[in-house]
Structure formats: C-alpha cells, structure tokens
Amino acid sequence: MKQWGDKDRIPIELWTGDAVVLFDWLMSVEFEDIPITHRAQKQALMDLLTALEVTEAAGATREEISAAQERVARDMGW
C-alpha cells in the first residue's frame, strides 16, 4: 500500500459549475452539522474549501451561483 506524505498532491479538475456550487455550499454549511465518521473528513472538506478560495469560483455572483446550480443539477437526471 502506498504511503502518502503531507506534501503529496493529486490534481483534480472540476467543471467550473461544480467548483462554484461546491464553494458556495462549503461557505454556507455548518461544519459541525456535517455527519462524519472520522475528523479527517471534516479537515479534508476545509482543505477543499481553502483550495477553492483561490479559484474564480470564490468570486461568483449570486446570479452565477444560481446558474451554476441549474447547470449542475440538469446533468443529474433526477
């Protein structure tokens, strides 16, 4: 089994709409209310939020967020 170090990185590409939706949600969610099975899960979400803060997703307007939510939800098929 591979051992990952603290500095190892995995590049992840997201559609802009997904990044906008995730950033908006992470900024509004109460982290204490998210069900987790290990505290590392909460830290990983905080790390994701930190990474998204330096993307254009962080500057999305309310209208852009709504449009992104519609685009992302349209692809769900539910």
Q: Residues 48-71, buried b or exposed e (16+ Cβ, 10 A)?
A: ebeebeeeebeebeeebbeebeee
What whole-number distance in Å separates Cα of residue 58 and Cα of residue 11? Answer: 19
CB 49 within 8 A of CB 23: yes
- The residue among 13, 36, 12, 27 whose CA lies nearest residue 59 is 27
CB 18 within 8 A of CB 72: yes
User: What pLDDT tens digit does each residue of the chain (78 aa) get?
Assistant: 677 777 788 888 999 999 999 999 999 999 899 999 999 999 999 999 999 999 999 999 999 999 999 999 987 766
pLDDT at 49: 96
